[in-house]
Every structure is written in structure tokens, then in C-alpha cells.
Amino acid sequence: MEISRERLLWAYERMRLIREFEDRLHTDFAAGKIPGFVHLYAGEEAVAVGVCAHLGDDDFITSTHRGHGHCIAKGVDLRAMMAEIYGKATGSCKGKGGSMHIADVDRGMLGANGIVGGGPPLACGAGLTARLKGTDQVTACFFGDGASNQGTTFEGLNLAGIWKLPVVFVCENNGYAETTSPRYSVSGQDIAARARGFGMPSIAIDGLDFFAVYEAAGEAIARARRGEGPTFIEAQTYRYYGHFEGDSLKYRDQSEDAHYRALDCLNRFRTTVIEQELLSQAELDAIDAQAREAIEAAARFAAESPLPTAADLLTDVYVSYPAAGLWPFQEVNR
Ligand SMILES: Cc1ncc(C[n+]2csc(CCOP(=O)(O)OP(=O)(O)O)c2C)c(N)n1
Ligand SMILES: [Mg+2]
């Protein structure tokens, strides 16, 4: 599949920003600077970026508890993300949501999600909206191997199948749900095969290879835009850090980590584009330096931002539908 130089530069920049962002959070969390729970995406960058490379601001994504990579790939502001994770008033949810609630509807990022399997029904809602409005918007639905066992995921696959919704289901099989391997938890072992039972095309790919993800996602998203319905992609990948920051990782050994780090998606991308003379080493190095600076600036912004005040405690907690002009029903006497 063709890919322009601009798209390659964009893809490498996004993957590097995600890696720098996550590595920085790993350090800052250990230093006690981050409140709450944080799940890092480092290692899985090729999946989010390979999919979002085909999406514009009008398209939608749904995410997971491991959502930073999805947000960055969809273009969510880095400073607002960092400030949110630091719990600061300048954050995307004014510091009250944290890592697992970052959203940016203007960018089509419908929200990180603390509910495992929470994304597929939301993706069907976005897909149904596009169908009813007659737009060509596509929704990419990211979820994990663990979420592939959830009832909500099967319900979402079924609805998308019968209604031929423009949704691409992207299962990020990173080898673990918390501490549990899919070899133990996934009956039948083959996650991609499950989706075929819902009558949709389904493929398992090397999720550590940006180009494999780019190609599979490109075909799936084009099919959705043509109105031909959903596709399922199982992207086989790996998370470098623990399930959450603070995880002692007793369930896997160092050799496994070394095996996957040798297949690192950023290094493989660099090797491919240099060998094929698509981008130069100097261009890639310049992106590395800019990404380091951008993340440093975002972390500084977050650290220097104020905390929410006690007066903010009850604001932005619930949406007032009538006040926002969103109440869809006629007023009735109650
Ligand atoms: C409905 C629900 N059940 C259980 C949990 C607790 N939980 C949080 S993350 C997680 C594992 C998810 O694994 P997977 O879907 O593979 O995503 P990964 O963490 O590997 O990205 C579990 C069980 C939850 N948040 N929501
Ligand atoms: Mg997993």
C-alpha cells in the first residue's frame, strides 16, 4: 500500500511522541509526581499510529484504560493530556479525570475508558450516528485481548455486523490482561477467528510492524467508508511496562522483555525507511530531538500548572442537558 513521505514523517513523529510521553510518565510516576492509576502504552505504538494514519478529525476512535497512545495518534493536545495526568486544572478534564478519562471530541477521540469492554458499544453508537446522518465517518475501536472476552464486545460485534456499521474493531493482543495470558483466558485461542462468527472479515497481524498495521487498517477503513460494514483486526503486540505503574511484573521474565524489545516497532520502522531510502537518518534523528523537547515542555507545563481548587469540586461533574441545549424531549409536567 502506498504511503506518502509526509505520512511517514507524521507516523514516526507520532510513534516517537508516544514513546517519549510514556517513558517520561514512567519516570515521573516513580518519583511520586503523578496521582492515581496509570497504564502505559510503550511498545504498542505501531497499532494506534498505523490505524489513526487513515483517520481525520471527523473520524472517531474509542479507547481503553491504556489510552495515551490512542490520544496522541489522534492528535490530542500533549500539554492538556500531561496536565490531566498530573491532576492539574489545565488538563483536558480540568484535572478531575486523570489518565483513564482523557477525551477530545473535537479530535474525534471519544474517551479513554476504565471499563474493560466499554469501547465496542460506544463505537457502535458513533458508527450508527454516521450511518443515520449519511456521512463517511469511520470509527476505530481499540480494545485488548482481555476485553475480547467481554459480553459487551460480543454485543458490539453483533450490532456492527447486522447494521453494517462503519466500525473497525482493533484488538490489541499484548499478551496479557493484567497478569493473565490469553493462552489461559481465551477459549479457542484464536481471537481473530471469533469475529468471523459475526460474519465480518477478520485478520491477525504483526502489530509490532507499522507497515502491516497500516495496510490492514487502510483496507478495513476503506471498506467501512464504502459502506461495506465492519472489519476486525487482531494486532499482536507487547507492552513494555507493567499492567499499571507499580506492577512488580512477577508473572513474566526478563528474557520475554528482551525478545520483544529486539522487535521494537520504532527501530523496525527506522530500519525499513532507511534501507528503502524513504527517509534519512538525519530526518529521523531530528524528529527524535523535537519529540524529546515537546514532551519536556508538556511535563514542565503540567508541573507548573495549578491544582483544581475546592470551589471546582462540583463543577463539570455532570452535564446539564437542558442548560447545554441538549435536552431532546418536550418538557412534560412532572
Ligand atoms: C468491566 C471490567 N472488568 C475488570 C476490570 C479490571 N481490569 C482493568 S484492566 C484489565 C485487563 C484488561 O486487559 P486487556 O483488555 O488485555 O487490556 P491491556 O491492559 O492488556 O491493554 C482488567 C481486568 C475493569 N476495569 N473493567
Ligand atoms: Mg492485553
- CATH number of residue 183's parent domain: 3.40.50.970
Closest-lying ligand 1 atom to the alpha carbon of residue 114: 25
Within a domain: 96: yes
CA–CA distance, 147 with 3 (Å, rounded to integer)? 31
What letters, b where the CB count within 10 A reaches 16 and e where it falls short, cover 76-114? bbbbbbbbbbbbbebbbbbbbbbbbbbbbeebbbbbbbb
pLDDT value for 313: 87
Ligand 1 touching residue 229 (CB < 6 A) = no
Within a domain: 325: no
Which domain range does residue 181 map to? 5-312
Neighbours of ion ligand 2 (CB under 5 A): 144-145, 174, 177
The grid coordinates listed for 139 are 470509527
Q: At 120, is the secondary structure helix, strand, or coil?
A: helix
**171 strand-pairing partners:** 143, 234
Sheet of 167-173, strand order: 60-62, 139-144, 167-173, 231-236, 202-206
Ligand 1 touching residue 287 (CB < 6 A) = no
Ligand 1 touching residue 48 (CB < 6 A) = no
Go through the chain and tell me how many residues it has: 334
Q: How many domains in the chain? A: 1
pLDDT value for 334: 46
Per-residue pLDDT of the chain (334 residues; tens, 9 = 90+): 899 999 999 999 999 999 999 999 999 999 999 999 999 999 999 999 999 999 999 999 999 999 999 999 999 999 999 999 999 999 999 999 999 999 999 999 999 999 999 999 999 999 999 999 999 999 999 999 999 999 999 999 999 999 999 999 999 999 999 999 999 999 999 999 999 999 999 999 999 999 999 999 999 999 999 999 999 999 999 999 999 999 999 999 989 999 999 999 999 999 999 999 999 999 999 999 999 999 999 999 999 999 999 999 888 877 777 777 766 665 555 4
Compute, in angstroms, the gap from residue 18 CA to the centroid of ligand 2. Answer: 18
**202 strand-pairing partners:** 232
Q: Residue 205: CB partners within 8 Å, gap ≥ 6?
A: 212, 213, 216, 233, 234, 235, 236
Within a domain: 319: no
Q: For residues 235 and 143, is the Cβ–Cβ distance under 8 A?
A: no
Compute, in angstroms, the gap from residue 146 CA to the centroid of ligand 2. Answer: 5
Within a domain: 178: yes
Compute, in angstroms, the gap from residue 303 CA to the centroid of ligand 2. Answer: 31
CA–CA distance, 298 with 303 (Å, rounded to integer)? 9
CA–CA distance, 133 with 131 (Å, rounded to integer)? 5
Within a domain: 71: yes
Within a domain: 330: no
Block residue for cell numbers 516513580: 30
Within a domain: 261: yes
Cα torsion 267, 268, 272, 273: sign: negative
Cα torsion 162, 166, 172, 173: sign: positive
Within a domain: 106: yes
Residue nearest to atom 7 of ligand 1 (CA): 116
Ligand 1 touching residue 121 (CB < 6 A) = no
- Picking from 99, 56, 62, 63, the residue whose alpha carbon sits closest to that of residue 81 is 99
pLDDT value for 298: 98
Q: At 28, is the secondary structure helix, strand, or coil?
A: helix
